[in-house]
Structure 1
Amino acid sequence: MIAPGDYKERGDYTTHQPTTRPGAGVWIDKPDLHLIGMSRNGVVVDGTESGPACSSAAADQDRGPAHGPGHWGRNGIEVYLASGVTIQNLTVCNFLSGSDGSGNQIWWNGGYDTATIGMHSYLGSYLSATTTYYDKNDPAQATYGIFVSNADGPGLIDRSYASNMNDSGYYIGACADCNAVLNRAHAENNVLGYSGTNSGGHLVISNGEWNDNGEGIDTNSQSNGDLPAPQDGACPSRAGSCLRITGNWIHDNNNRDVPGNGLGLVGAGVVVAGGRTDTIANNRFRNNGAWGVALLPYITGVVNGPTDCTTAGGTWDNPFIDSLSGAPACFFNDYGMKVRDNEFSGNGSFGNPTNGDLADLSDFSAIGIPPAVPGRGNCYAENTDTAGLTSAPAGLPTTNAHCATAGPGAAVTDPLFGQVLCNLHQLTPGDPLCAGAVYPQQDASFSLALLPAQASMPGICSRLPRTIPWCGPRHHT
């Protein structure tokens, strides 16, 4: 149990110096250890080397031990191959990237880049993760807020906050059956509020708020990282969908002025890119400028060779896809998604062609990729918008209302294809495929959002002797 204070932890300089991979300020490799702060706002695990807590000054930043011509980068609290570890009621800030596998504020690491599960149960609650430092000319940046990889649970992340990350505020990935719940999360001012690569099976993202990110929630298939692919929300028994995005408030995700290069499908509430068999239900989508929900394909490289792609159900070396990527690539289409009982309002406010509540780009038969057969397409039921539900292609809630008969969505020849490329800035606004569309550009400079005060875990003092000075009698409840 950790008393209030600003802890500029430097385990990667002392007891756990990096040799083959970046280290961490706080390194945990003991199973079943419980790390609890006495005050969520007052216990700060701080990546800076000098100055006040979470200083934004460039001179106060710590880029990690020297490594070749540069630096290793740093992680904040890293749990390494240790199950049963609990982290609660504290803040972590300003741990910056360098070498691959750094820049993570809180990380349950079950075996990054090993394609194997090396961790089981974990729990985090009443956690805050942020950075106050960003310079677009400095490659040292905070990458992930709360990060879980290569773990099969049971896992729970509850009542947490993440902001200002140049990749995503939250990440759960590299787990075919994650057996995890991300509940009551709040992500803002990240490139992605949540991202999950090759995360599937039992995974619930529920009751969170996702706002002012580039994208709100993004889950995807990739064969060039966090294997094994694909992202598949099917239950391990293959009967139904066990990945559920439900009960969330997803709004105003239109922010290109976030750390990093500002790329991503800005203006999207939920994106499934090359995934399958997920359920998106009972959420509220408001004022996402491009699309409330966008179901799209994903183009990726491979780690070990084409079999990383083809054994995961991807298409390898299609000439048209290769021309888009500039080299042989893997193509994952999206299918089998259930989007139902969601409330939409004010989405599509960018006003470009195809912008609206729903978007489904999944018919690539024109370039030789077989489309989803009836009953394997994405389906949409009981979604509402008081101003009238909009979709690309038009009429999607009618043509694909029934999951048993749903087929593919928009074709590669549909205007939606060009709009996605234009939003990603892979095309210039003058390109005919953009049809005159203009999507937000990143400003030359911008300020990071401040970390708001967050509610602490109740009843902390009841766990301690009454002689502890910062716990008076009134706190022992």
Structure 2
Amino acid sequence: MQTRARGFKAVTLAIGAAMLVAACGGSDGSANLADEPEAVGTAAPEPTDPPATDAPEPEPTDPPATDAPEPEPTDPPATDAPGPGDDGVLDVPAEFTTITEAVDAAQPGDLVLIAPGTYNEAVNVVTDEIVIRGLEREGVVLDGQFELDNGIRVLGARGVAVENLTVQNYTDNGVFFTGVDGYRASYVTAYRNGDYGIYAFDSVTGQIEHSYGAGSPDAGFYIGQCYPCDAVVDNVISEHNGLGYSGTNAGGNLIIANSRFNNNRAGIVPNSGSYELCYPQRQNLIVGNTVYSNNQPDTPAIDVAILAMGNGILIPGGVGNTVERNLVYDHDRTGIGLVPFLEEGANDDIPEQSEWDTPCSEQRLEPPATEIPESLLWDSFDNVISDNVVSDSREADLAVEGVGQPTGELRNCWSGNTFATSAPAALETIAPCGTDAAAPDDAVWETEALNVLRWLGEVDSRPEPVDYETAPLPPLPDLDDMPDAATAPAQPATDVPFAIDTDAITTPVADG
């Protein structure tokens, strides 16, 4: 570029000098460069410049045509395209590899829908009002492999529902609701878990229904530490556990109905104790259940289950419960028994009777007694036992005994039951329901008494518990699936417990 510029300058100077000579030259106005050498010479380029060249200048490069069509812009990705779970249904494993990933991504009102398969995970739930559902009850299996603690644990999340799946081989619990208001377990199978099958602790407003629990050392089903609980256990089957149902300090609009408890160490066992809050246990309605053969010696079992072995419906230290229209048969000890509960290592004293209606929300704020006994003896008061069919109990079909207070001062009553034996004798005669007559004297209550303290001395002779990992269990029965599991909309546990017409429940009839 520099050489080309200098050449262009030399030519320009030469032409300019020639034009100047012509303008000042001969009279005829013509210019003759050959005749005027000096004039031409004075316009010559500097010696250092290259000779002028008359080569044509290169044509300038034309700019791109401005009227050429512009390229079409690339459209950005659509921002409203649905992502996983945007329709309110989070599919596992199609959209989320694990149940945990789907639960963590779920929003209130969402449905986590699980395809058949085995899922080795422990799922924690902290989001309110989600529904976790399997497409097949038997085919969707959460398996803890005897290493993980809880299959599904709901930690304070309100309104969570678990539906139509199996939880098995967990070291603690199959399904565990703790500290929640609003919960539901429907069509759940809990099989061979190390503590409870389905466990609701310190939780209210709940429903456990159409579910199965087997192979747990404590209980197939448990509701504890709540008053009022506002809960229903309906249409469940519990077998081959330490206890079929356990309910420490649970009551107040709590119904256990239309269910089967068989071949556990003991059947239905709600009890009082200061080792959990909300004591005493009170105000259960136990109605329309079939309870039989709860003498099973080869189950896993905690200490209480060993002590209670051989009883159908046993209420240790419970208050104000109603037990009616149940079918109870084949028990080594009692069919329906009201007995004291001896608690060692107490955390508080027994509340006064004037405090028995105190809600748990208030009671739990009260400090414990300044002086706490080493042990407590919880007697059973004000229970109503009516219209049950009880048979084949080796110690007594109907039984009651007080230890802390005389049996006749406990205000329990019996009416309309079909039974053969009672302890003490003639219970319906000496303590019928619906009468204000004075209780008979102590001598009557001592006739053919139960002698429940003997049970304590016999604990060491009871069958030892079997490891829950290896205890023999029956094969799973044919259990109903949730209707329309693939298409039913999510229904969080915001409307529980479901209304149940307890007056319409009739006493079950034994098969055969």
Q: What CA deviation, in whole Å up to 9, does each residue of 1:259-285 have, x standing for no partner?
A: 135613111000100011000000001
Q: Secondary structure at the match of 2:210?
A: strand
Aligned residue type for 1:457: M
Residue 287 (str. 1) matches residue 327 (str. 2): no
**2-structure distance, mates of 1:204, 1:224:** 23
Q: Which runs of 5+ in 2 are unaligned?
A: 1-112, 357-372, 490-512
Cα pair 1:223 1:301 within 8 Å, conserved: no
Q: Give runs of aligned pairs for residues 228-307 of structure 1, distance below 5 A.
A: 228-233=278-283, 243-260=284-301, 263-301=306-344, 304-306=347-349
Residue 224 (str. 1) matches residue 275 (str. 2): yes
Residue 79 (str. 1) matches residue 176 (str. 2): no
Superposed displacement of residue 402, structure 1: 2.9
Q: Secondary structure at the match of 1:199?
A: coil
Q: Give runs of aligned pairs for residues 425-444 of structure 1, distance below 5 A.
A: 425=460
**2-structure distance, mates of 1:88, 1:406:** 51
**2-structure distance, mates of 1:384, 1:146:** 32
Aligned in 2, Cα 1:75/1:443: closer, same or farther, shift over 3 Å?
Answer: closer
Match of 1:151 in 2: 203
Match of 1:198 in 2: 249
Q: Secondary structure at the match of 1:398?
A: helix
Aligned in 2, Cα 1:80/1:247: closer, same or farther, shift over 3 Å?
Answer: same
Q: Secondary structure at the match of 2:211?
A: strand
**1-structure distance, mates of 2:475, 2:312:** 23
Superposed displacement of residue 288, structure 1: 1.6
Aligned in 2, Cα 1:264/1:371: closer, same or farther, shift over 3 Å?
Answer: closer
Residue 165 (str. 1) matches residue 222 (str. 2): no
Q: What CA deviation, in whole Å up to 9, does each residue of 1:395-414 have, x standing for no partner?
A: 11211113434748956994
**2-structure distance, mates of 1:183, 1:158:** 5
| Structure index of larger Rg | 2
Aligned in 2, Cα 1:281/1:360: closer, same or farther, shift over 3 Å?
Answer: same
Match of 2:109 in 1: none
* TM-score, normalised relative to structure 1: 0.69
Match of 1:177 in 2: 228
Match of 1:458 among 477, 483, 492: 483
Aligned in 2, Cα 1:302/1:457: closer, same or farther, shift over 3 Å?
Answer: same
**2-structure distance, mates of 1:359, 1:413:** 10
Superposed displacement of residue 88, structure 1: 0.5
* TM-score, normalised relative to structure 2: 0.64
Cα pair 1:274 1:298 within 8 Å, conserved: yes
More helix by share: 2
Aligned in 2, Cα 1:447/1:272: closer, same or farther, shift over 3 Å?
Answer: same
RMSD: 2.7
Residue 91 (str. 1) matches residue 91 (str. 2): no
Aligned residue type for 2:114: I
Aligned residue type for 2:402: S
Match of 2:384 in 1: 338
Cα pair 2:135 2:485 within 8 Å, conserved: yes
Q: What CA deviation, in whole Å up to 9, does each residue of 1:365-417 have, x standing for no partner?
A: xxxx46664xx5110000013xxx20111111211113434748956994523
Match of 2:368 in 1: none
Aligned in 2, Cα 1:415/1:27: closer, same or farther, shift over 3 Å?
Answer: closer
Q: Secondary structure at the match of 1:287?
A: strand
Match of 1:125 in 2: 186
Aligned in 2, Cα 1:254/1:463: closer, same or farther, shift over 3 Å?
Answer: same
**2-structure distance, mates of 1:406, 1:446:** 50
Residue 347 (str. 1) matches residue 387 (str. 2): no
Q: Secondary structure at the match of 2:279?
A: coil
Q: What CA deviation, in whole Å up to 9, does each residue of 1:246-271 have, x standing for no partner?
A: 00000111112111356131110001
Cα pair 1:361 1:412 within 8 Å, conserved: no
Aligned residue type for 1:260: A
Superposed displacement of residue 450, structure 1: 3.1
Aligned residue type for 2:164: N
Q: Secondary structure at the match of 1:461?
A: coil
Q: What CA deviation, in whole Å up to 9, does each residue of 1:201-245 have, x standing for no partner?
A: 1000000010000000000000012x0211111xxxxxxxxx210
Identical positions, percent: 33
Q: What CA deviation, in whole Å up to 9, does each residue of 1:11-31 have, x standing for no partner?
A: xxxxxxxxxxxxxx0000100
**1-structure distance, mates of 2:198, 2:220:** 6
Q: Secondary structure at the match of 1:462?
A: coil
Superposed displacement of residue 289, structure 1: 1.9
Q: Which runs of 5+ in 1 are unaligned?
A: 10-24, 49-60, 65-73, 97-102, 111-118, 132-140, 234-242, 314-326, 349-354, 429-438, 465-477
